[in-house]
Amino acid sequence: MATGAGIKLIALVSLACAPACVSVAQVPRTSATASSDPGTTKAAAAPQADGAIPSKIAQRPESPVGALARAEESAHEMPWDDAEILVRLAELEMDRGSLRPNAEGWDDFDRAHTALKRALLADAGYVPALNALAIYYLHRARLGQDRLSSSGGLQVPSFGASIDGPRRPATERLEMARRATHRATELQPRYAPAHNTAGLIELELGGTGAAIREFEKASALSPSYPEPLFNLAAVLLSIHDFEHAREAYRMGLALEPDRYDANLGLALAERGRIGLFNRDEQLALVKAHLSRCKMLEPERPETVFNEAVLIDEYEARLGGDRGVAAARRAVKLFDDFIMMTATEPEYAEALRIARRRSSSLRALLR
């Protein structure tokens, strides 16, 4: 998974449709290493597939755990002034997102920050390092766990020690992220990942329009780079621009067809287009996209939730035997979702909706 938003480590942006189109959080992603200018300079390495490892580290894709181990090994074996290796190491550490301290830092983000500082000391104009630094600040703003020592540096506690010291306000971290992307685009205006990251920062600061412009710019600079298309689509989905969200998702999926969250987003965009005269056609299309989501990642609760909502809204209220059967299917799906996510805080809002809808359907079945 690319560093940044998809950041499975932390959702940089958590977008859910409004009540007319309820979904579990959509998480736009970013990448610190993809590029818009293949073959220009080291600061603009060619676009890499999601999770791919630079040739200095490995010759073939690896699992995230294996990739991190290889990156750490390479960082120890190679000179510590190799900015490319250090940036990749930082990306993998942020992807892992472990909060466990060790001798090199009090969590993976602290260790990533150290690697990025080393990379920029080696090459202050290395644009991927500036972009990764912006992503680091964005993570810290979202986590709310960045504490400073009296000298302004991050504290690295001993094992078992509590972390003290003042917090940096989230807005300050976001401004630091914004400055890093601004510097990156000053040095290399056509570096698409920096514009993509800038879009995530603007969105976090409440600038939906500015975020959309940055995502569009990133996509225009690098048409083969799917991340800004997925981010753009998720933002458009959140403001109920279903037509353009569908278009952006389709363009992104043409580049990366097996992205789960994009397939789910496309299902929601198609659901938002259901109208009086296309109901059956659109329902079939939404179900097909949800089936693909189940095929891609069978254990994801988001698919279960959205399938249950679809049945509840469009089939369970029809009346007669068909409506009763649909209501029972929806209740079972809601109950399955509740069992899958009952202990997961990030699903709290969806759990509330699932419980309410399940209760309403049970009353209907009495």
pLDDT digits (tens, 9 = 90+) for 168-220: 568 899 999 999 999 999 999 999 999 999 999 999 999 999 999 999 999 99
- CA 66 and chain centroid, separation: 21
Picking from 88, 95, 101, the residue whose alpha carbon sits closest to that of residue 65 is 95
Longest distance between any two alpha carbons in the chain, whole Å: 73
Q: What pTM was computed for the model? A: 0.76
Query: What is the SS3 assignment for 273?
Result: coil
What distance, in Å, lies between the first and last C-alpha atoms of the chain? 46
SS (H, E, C) 17-74: CCHHHCCCCECCCCCCCCCCCCCCCHHHCCCCCCCCCCCCCCCCCCCHHHHHHHHHHH
* pLDDT recorded at residue 322: 93
**Phi first, then psi: what are they for 26, rounded to 5°?**
-95, 135
| Residue 125 clears pLDDT 90, i.e. is over it | yes
Crossing angle, helix 192-204 and helix 227-238, to 10 degrees? 20
pLDDT in tens, 288-323: 999 999 999 999 999 999 999 999 999 998 889 999
Give percent of the chain above pLDDT 90.
Answer: 63
**Confidence band, pLDDT 50/70/90 cuts, at residue 336:** very high
Angle at 9 between CA 7 and CA 14, to 5 degrees: 60
| Residue 23 clears pLDDT 60, i.e. is over it | no
Average pLDDT, the chain: 78
Alpha-carbon distance values, 75 to 85, 90, 100, 175, 358 (Å)? 6, 11, 20, 30, 52
* pLDDT recorded at residue 99: 83
* pLDDT recorded at residue 45: 35
Picking from 287, 298, 365, the residue whose alpha carbon sits closest to that of residue 336 is 298
pLDDT in tens, 83-111: 999 999 999 999 888 888 888 888 889 99
